[in-house]
Amino acid sequence: MTPTLPLRASVIGGLLLALGAAGAVAAPEKPECIAPAKPGGGFDITCKLAQSGLQESKLIGAPMRVTYMPGGIGAVAYNAIVAQRPADPNALVAFSSGSLLNLAIGKFGQYTASDVRWVASVGTDYGVIAVRADSPLKTLKDLVAALQKDPASVAFGAGGTVGSQDWMKTALVARLAGVNHQGMRYVAFEGGGEAFTALLGGHVQVYSGDVGELAPQIEAGKVHVLAVLADERLPGRLGTLPTAKEQGFELSWPIVRGFYVGPKVSDADYQWWVQTFDKLTADPGFAKLREQRELQPFTKSGAALDAYVKEAVARYAALAREFDLVK
């Protein structure tokens, strides 16, 4: 017997529903955020922001774990994802503008910005130049004067090797003082946490890092900020901190924070992450979590973030050539 039209319609509808269900992408079963440094720095903040936001908003069902993969300020994690876990949909890796700078100068080895899939940014931090609370240096002008008098008298400490973004901030300060960056004293640490410990211990005199990761120590009175590297004073609790620009120095350093996944993650899984972060960053509750970590709004995802990353890498490459880091 030939089925009636309504039955045929219901069969077709059922098939479409079944196909839709089959093509639907489930949330990752074992979500993981990889922070490419030791605990306590900006990558740690980025991962824990995603962890809190995604779980509190119930955009993921399973708990997200944060793991640490220090080495090369992101290089070890980048290489591990591309070479060993290229198709893993569970693994997000935190990145910052420092990661993009390292890509620009070739510190990630053979890989380029085109070798991963850029998911989303969740905010921006800003560079900071700080000293211990009892330091005789009180302003950025004091630091510049000290460098002009005797570059060897000032030891900078930061969570990055020569060529990293924290090094670049110190090199830009040295340039303001008319000092060749090759003549400044710079001590590299694996992460901002170690650099801060060295500052408190008196092993270095000046800390170059990110204001978000230093905020708890600022509020505790352990450090004194010489300058925030933003165009304008930050809103909220950090609004009392002076910028370099208001002290007469043209120096700013925004630090975008976000995530990428492996190059072979399927389009469906990749889009799931992109759309999930779009929902997260649009949630008013997430804005509060971001503010708690002293991050400012900066939201791009998918193709828009990919384009931003490529432009930033080109810009950093030009800056690196100015400091003879690349040819």
Residue 24 has a pLDDT of 56
% the chain with pLDDT above 90:
73
Cα distance between residue 169 and residue 127, in whole Å: 8
Residue 214 has a pLDDT of 86
- pLDDT of 21 over the 90 cut: no
- pLDDT of 6 over the 60 cut: no
- Give 16's pLDDT tier (boundaries 50, 70, 90): very low
Greater model confidence, 150 or 15: 150
Residue 10 has a pLDDT of 40
Average pLDDT of the chain to the nearest whole number: 89
Average pLDDT in the 43-67 region?
Answer: 94
% the chain with pLDDT above 70:
92
List, for residues 172-226, the tens digit of each pLDDT value: 999 999 999 988 999 998 777 888 899 999 999 999 998 988 888 898 999 999 9
Q: For the whole model, what pTM was predicted?
A: 0.81
Residue in this structure with the two tokens 């973004």, named with its chain if needed: 165
Query: How many secondary structure helices (H) and strands (E) does the chain include?
Result: 11, 9
- pLDDT of 14 over the 60 cut: no
List, for residues 230-288, the tens digit of each pLDDT value: 999 998 888 999 999 999 999 999 999 999 999 999 999 999 999 999 999 999 999 99
Cα distance between residue 36 and residue 80, in whole Å: 11
Q: Is 119 left (phi over 0), alpha (psi -120 to 50) or beta?
A: alpha
Domains of the chain, earliest start first: 32-125+255-322 (3.40.190.150), 126-253 (3.40.190.10)
